[in-house]
Structure 1
């Protein structure tokens, strides 16, 4: 006669297991696990020793075990669904970024024809902001007056005119608010050519040939 607790080792308790049978039943399917448990329970009740029956506490413990197993399996299924939904949303978001300008920390002037593009990030409001365009030797060859700007990111377009873009090296930013100097960070402004995904992370292929990750981008325009 049986009077020992049920053995739940074969009920598919391994978290994350996805082994399926030919008929489509999954070893970790909560409903299948519950069905197997109930069959074992009925068999044990039918064959228990009348002089030593299973007590209510033992039965309650075993019911709690199967409920815990089912709960974990259902949680795994929910988390998997959320991960798939997140990846789908990220892919859709990435597609919408193609053709937009990404602002990345750097001082390189990006050219679109004869127009140089860049951006600045201000730590505070400034009533005077200037962008100095530098040649390969670091000498100023032109200056863009951006006027008064608020805290945050701001883009600029510079008409190179007769200046050969190949002679341009980089740019620097000067910002003041009254007599106080305002912290200013130069930002490269580059178009997003394509988007890729690796190990669940989004990567951006830029028009200048560089590849960067999504979290390295300060802003999109």
Structure 2
């Protein structure tokens, strides 16, 4: 796999791939070489037992069919290369931006905000968020109170928190808030008397884009790691 952090790198990688394809193609049997072989075959055939004309026609027809399929494959490969190039170029433009993906941990950047989203399957009398540092210690606990069934959207900057667009009456237990680092988030709700863990999606900055040999694109996210481009739930401002 190849890691890409700019549009120039995308085109450089594709140029290398095309050069390799051209090298492989130059080693294939072309039309002129095929005709030379046929002429040589005709010149060296026995005059007492010449090859039937229908055999030459069959060989020409077979070569014509193979050549047509080869051109079709080359046209398809060209279309595939253009599609991958366009997709890679779009992905490279995400470098430095924030995206939201299914995750339990992410990085709080200096001066940044972590966006957390989840889906509450039923109304709850007690929704809470626990935040752990990289060593696994509980560093913050945010009581979000009673919430109705539906989407949960929370923004956290290490000092303050905002739930569904409303600033919470909550402050970090640390005087200056939590520092930039990787943190793990556990969102839970008490539903019908039982404590349930909820799936979360978190925001993270795109550090680079990876292009696999088959053209599959993946994003390398700060604090999360490598995820497929298809897993992105939201592109953040």
Tell me the TM-score normalized by structure 2. Answer: 0.57
- In the alignment, is the contact (CA less than 8 A) between 2:128 and 2:141 conserved in 1? no
Aligned to 2:208: 194
Q: Does 1:83 align with 2:80?
A: yes
Aligned positions, number: 190
> What is the CA–CA distance in structure 1 between the aligned matches of 2:26 and 2:103, rounded to whole Å?
47
> What is the CA–CA distance in structure 1 between the aligned matches of 2:60 and 2:89, rounded to whole Å?
44
Q: Tell me by how many angstroms 1:217 deviates.
A: 3.4
> What is the CA–CA distance in structure 2 between the aligned matches of 1:127 and 1:40, rounded to whole Å?
83
Structure whose alpha-carbon radius of gyration is higher: 1
Q: Tell me by how many angstroms 1:216 deviates.
A: 7.8
Flag structure 1 segments of 5+ consecutive residues without an equivalent.
1-15, 21-26
Aligned to 1:11: none
> What is the CA–CA distance in structure 1 between the aligned matches of 2:194 and 2:154, rounded to whole Å?
23
Flag structure 2 segments of 5+ consecutive residues without an equivalent.
1-22, 161-170
Aligned to 2:178: 165
Aligned to 1:40: 39
Q: Does 1:64 align with 2:65?
A: no
Task: Work out which structure has the larger RCO, using CA pairs closer than 8 Å and 6 or more positions apart in sequence.
Answer: 2
Give the RMSD, CA atoms, in angstroms. Answer: 4.2
Describe the SS at the equivalent of 1:165: coil
Q: Does 1:130 align with 2:127?
A: yes
Q: Tell me by how many angstroms 1:180 deviates.
A: 8.8
Cα distance per residue 1:128-174 (max 9 Å; x no partner): 48341335543762134664316xxx642136334121499532223
Aligned to 1:205: 220
Q: Tell me by how many angstroms 1:92 deviates.
A: 1.8
Aligned to 2:5: none
Aligned to 1:94: 91
Structure 1 residues 167, 55: CA separation in 2 closer, same or farther (over 3 Å shift)? closer
Describe the SS at the equivalent of 1:205: strand
Tell me the TM-score normalized by structure 1. Answer: 0.60
